[in-house]
């Protein structure tokens, strides 16, 4: 079954991109069972955030900009920010949109293999040039042997990616690359080589990338000179006359499938939710999903502040929730 393939393989990506995402219950629709609603809140919807909108616009523009650029590496993008800020969610959402837009424009003829417009690769821990190339090869199922040299594997990857028509390469966990080590430097050089030889737009995502060795030295200068930086940080409670965090809370609440939840309850607690999650979209989504699942399991079918208080979140969110205490002054 394709559903069992990870998203870092073509079969898994194709299943992810072409499977309709979860959707809230529609008016007039037959009520879903508790089991169906538990499954729905487990998967849940992807709410568009300012970072997703910015990334989508930038990717579309850069893909057009680099469409006919063949002699040098095309312009790239780096999505950076703290953990639980929604970087991977944004990356996957934009990748799925690109995949569907391409297949809609150029449908696959009957009897032909599905098109491959997007690749999604994870940088492995302690990445070396060999293990990183292996991840690229694994995505398209490119056969490799122990007798093949690094150059031969790289040639096979570049040839196959170009033949398959890959247009967008998404590389996640880029902060795992450390060019200050010998193996890390070789992996970074390989990545530069791939960006010049594969005719696609590259988009990277990682935790606080600008604070890592990736942006230092000659290699860092080359990357910084080619890549546009998009920060996917915590959502502010207020931005000018807008309230982006409250807007996201409202969208999440509208997507709930609970029998007795009162609309407007969660937006009224926007200050508490912002303090509780430090504005991180990942922590906020997890908190509301867990609260919804709890409400279904205990039969209350509604989310209250008491429900939210009873849930223990990730360590980062719990640290943000903990009140700051002053150190006692030392007597003179």
pTM for this one? 0.87
User: Could you give the C-alpha distances from 329 to 324, 326, 332, in angstroms and in order?
Assistant: 15, 9, 9
Provide DSSP, 260-303: SPPTTHHHHTHHHHHHHHTT-HHHHHHHHHHHHHHHHHSS--S-
Higher confidence at residue 217 or residue 18?
A: 18
Rounded to the nearest 5°, which phi and psi values hold at 260?
A: -125, 15
Q: What is the pLDDT of residue 141?
A: 96
169 close to 119: Cβ distance less than 8 angstroms: yes
pLDDT digits (tens, 9 = 90+) for 246-302: 999 999 999 999 999 999 999 999 999 999 999 999 999 999 999 999 999 999 999
DSSP secondary structure code for residue 239 in this structure: B
Three-class secondary structure assignment of 15-44: HHHHCCCCCCCCCCCCCCCHHHHHHHHHHC
pLDDT digits (tens, 9 = 90+) for 45-82: 999 888 999 999 999 999 998 887 776 778 899 999 99
Mean pLDDT of 127-143: 95
Work out the pLDDT band at 320, boundaries 50, 70, 90: low
Per DSSP bridges, beta strands 118-122 and 168-172 are parallel
* The two structure tokens encoding residue 297: 């399991």
pLDDT digits (tens, 9 = 90+) for 145-190: 888 899 999 999 999 999 999 999 999 999 999 888 999 899 999 9
How far is the C-alpha of 244 from the C-alpha of 220, rounded, in Å? 33
* Residues whose CB falls within 8 Å of the CB of residue 330, separated by 6 or more in sequence, listed in order: none
Higher confidence at residue 219 or residue 243?
A: 243
Q: What is the pLDDT of residue 2?
A: 47
Residue 332, pLDDT > 60, answer: no
Higher confidence at residue 118 or residue 320?
A: 118
Q: What is the pLDDT of residue 266?
A: 97
Q: What is the pLDDT of residue 22?
A: 92
């Amino acid at each position: 079954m394709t559903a069992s393939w990870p998203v870092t393989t073509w079969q898994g990506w194709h299943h992810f991109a072409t499977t309709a995402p979860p959707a809230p219950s529609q008016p007039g629709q037959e009520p879903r069972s508790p089991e169906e609603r538990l499954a729905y809140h487990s998967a849940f919807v992807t709410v568009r955030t300012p970072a997703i909108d910015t990334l989508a616009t930038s990717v579309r523009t850069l893909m057009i900009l680099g469409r006919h650029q063949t002699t040098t590496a095309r312009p790239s993008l780096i999505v950076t920010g703290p953990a639980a800020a929604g970087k991977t969610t944004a990356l996957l959402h934009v990748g799925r949109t690109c995949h569907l837009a391409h297949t809609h424009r150029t449908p696959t003829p009957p009897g032909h293999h599905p098109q491959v417009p997007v690749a999604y690769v994870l940088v492995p821990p302690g990445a070396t040039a060999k293990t990183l190339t292996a991840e690229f090869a694994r995505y398209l199922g490119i056969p490799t042997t122990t007798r093949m040299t690094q150059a031969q594997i790289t040639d096979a990857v570049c040839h196959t990616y170009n033949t398959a028509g890959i247009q967008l390469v998404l590389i996640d966990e880029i902060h795992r690359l450390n060019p200050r080590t010998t193996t890390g430097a070789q992996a970074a050089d390989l990545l530069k080589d791939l960006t010049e030889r594969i005719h696609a737009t590259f988009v990277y995502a990682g935790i606080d990338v600008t604070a890592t060795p990736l942006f230092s030295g000659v290699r860092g200068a080359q990357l910084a000179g080619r890549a546009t930086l998009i920060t996917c940080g915590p959502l502010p409670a207020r931005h000018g006359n807008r309230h982006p965090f409250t807007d996201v809370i409202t969208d999440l609440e509208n997507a709930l499938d609970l029998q007795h939840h009162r609309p407007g309850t969660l937006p009224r607690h926007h200050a508490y939710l912002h303090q509780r999650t430090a504005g991180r979209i990942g922590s906020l989504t997890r908190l509301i999903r867990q609260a919804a699942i709890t409400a279904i399991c205990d039969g209350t079918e509604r989310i209250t502040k008491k429900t939210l208080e009873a849930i223990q979140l990730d360590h980062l969110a719990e640290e943000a929730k903990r009140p700051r205490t002053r150190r006692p002054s030392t007597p003179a």
